[in-house]
Structure 1
């Protein structure tokens, strides 16, 4: 059963759910799982707690699914802008200037968010499908970029932190006694990623975003006999080899702190063969490694941000203008 609201502590399965649901899922498998399938992975690592809500994922789940993050450096910088600039060690006068600049950056980000509000906006909750079941993943917004088949999501890391705390501690009125609190603090610490911008929840969100994009494509082509790939906008198509399976592009913007100073732009290409693994748990479909690349973007210069977003997100310049225009 799914949570009744996005504020409810997540507890449903997707490589997720209670151990009892995990065992029931394996027992109902009609065939022996193929090596490399999700059921085979769960059986092989039955002593590890893999069958949990994505908010409780560690880097183990992405690794076993052959998913990885890869940082990318933007080689072009607007004049006077340096992504590697650090505040540490600045003189007091420069620190004061930084505070003024920070206020201006926040105003610019608010302008970006306001312009994004004009785009067709979808529910901020994604359905992560797994073996015919679904669990809800919360984002801070999902926008349609020119077509219902194309989505851009954004997410605050503060939101991820709040969801993870809610998952571990429960609601305030459900807080346990001191000994239990100590255990829960230890559990929360074990779930914190070493690198916040490579949070496994980000990986799960991108997978769920690809699943949602695929559902939208299927819905728009349900009455047509043409191949679903012909319905994907040209800007979201990837040249394909002999394998004719559809390949989807997904994009995500992550805001690290509030007030926001830096955006992280994530992009990935996810073949439907990879998504099939979550529908047919006993089958191993060849999809190769899924790489999620991400880049750091400062938002102090909205004009420069517009020029850099297309490369960082893998979107068309027109789509990025609709999101990042001043």
Structure 2
């Protein structure tokens, strides 16, 4: 049987741990042989802040596993537990496939397993992961990444997406689909986690661009150019670009494009306007243009986004 190890340390969050246990630890009759799950780590560790874990194997048992699933860390601002980092590294060195759920990516990165690879984590912590481990190429827009012997997932529910992907890889699509039906979850979700990231604040009140940003946000249905923005801000186009990069990290046109997509998201969520009408109100011109830019930025077409986030 394929042996899956789940390491548990004091403070391990419960959500992703429970999801992995449900997928790999339950007695499934979906395939000829299922997984042999072992929970390794600190006996009596507090899981989820209140549940005491009874663990019979230490972290050194990770080296016996075929697959190691590293769930979320207690606080990504803290350094991962050295003993866990070393055990995960040793398991990988012995040939184990290693996967992280949510902020478990910080443990993999600390172990050096993500160096030179693409990886992801919860969208709220992608910038921290990238700054702390610059040799990792962090992709904030996907639900999970399969890089062969090392896999990473985005936050929370995306951990289930990755677990189902592992089952699909090991046992085929039919088995993964049957498991998804049992768990009452989609076997594969459209798009990435970009669609779940809250819309960035369009403008503030405490910087030189706040006025022109508010002005532009009120006129997204109109054709606006960098020259228009510069004229409203009372500065040259070059100076405007410099300030935009300092405040937003992007160009004026990039910021304007992002605002149009964000406005389209809002209208899809709270209005009954057609995609054609939303395209006009956001300055996208045509429904085809809106669909193209929306899908490129969020990974799903407008219609799919509306079905997911429509407010009753």
Given the two structures, how large is their TM-score scaled by the length of structure 2? Answer: 0.26
Bigger share in strand: 1
Bigger share in helix: 2
**Larger RCO: Structure 1 or Structure 2 (Cα < 8 Å, ≥ 6 residues apart)?**
1
Given the two structures, how large is their TM-score scaled by the length of structure 1? Answer: 0.25
Structure ID, larger Rg: 2
